[in-house]
Amino acid sequence: MSTQDVESESDAETDGSGELPQPHTIRLELVDEPGQLLSALQPIAENGGNLLSIFHERGNLTPRGHIPVEVDLECPPDRFDTIVDALRDAGINVIRAGAEHFGETVSLILVGDLVDTDLSHTLHSIEDGAEATVTDVSLSAPSGTQEPSSARLRLATRSGKTDEALTVVRDIAAEKDLHVVEPLTEGSA
């Protein structure tokens, strides 16, 4: 599904209580069989949920040999329990539902003396300050600690809170004399 499809779908009105849709994250375990993903997504659509993103951890199996899948969706507050029940009724293994509400992901690059300024501490500060989860980190330090290094971070942020999260990242970076290459979040880029 392309980003535009997601945008137009999430713009669409949902029937129901009239309350604003809230983002939710559901973690599923699927059996490695054809059609499993589709049958897992149907109960969501049929019960008034808008799919925001599907994160399929390819090659990564749970201890029980199942495939973990993370689904971000948006739905009116009173619909969420219905969706989870419908998934369970369909025989889908729902591991975790709604514990965290991360609706958007954003990538950015930090540049500077990342190692000596304690990258681990930097990441923790971002998670605490920005109410975001760092879901991916790639570090490139081709000249060791002699030259500036770069790290690409992927953050999962709350829906509509990406700009606030980026402001927090900018402040933390400034404290440590790091530069941030921010994504262009507006427009089609």
Could you list the residues that contact another protein (CB under 8 A)?
107-109, 111-112, 138, 140-142, 147-152, 179, 181-184, 186-189
Least CB distance from residue 134 to another protein, whole Å? 14
- Tell me how far apart the alpha carbons of residues 3 and 6 are, in angstroms, rounded to a whole number: 5
Structure tokens at 94: 């729902």
Instruction: Give Rg (Cα) of the chain.
Output: 19
In the complex with another protein, which residue's Cβ is closer, 4 or 38? 4
Collapsing DSSP to helix, strand or coil, 178 comes out as: coil
Structure tokens at 119: 């990258």
Least CB distance from residue 140 to another protein, whole Å? 4
Least CB distance from residue 148 to another protein, whole Å? 5
Phi, psi of 173 (to 5 degrees): -65, -40
Q: Which residues contact 94 (CB under 8 A, 6 or more apart)?
A: 26, 27, 28, 84, 87, 88
Least CB distance from residue 119 to another protein, whole Å? 14
In the complex with another protein, which residue's Cβ is closer, 15 or 147? 147
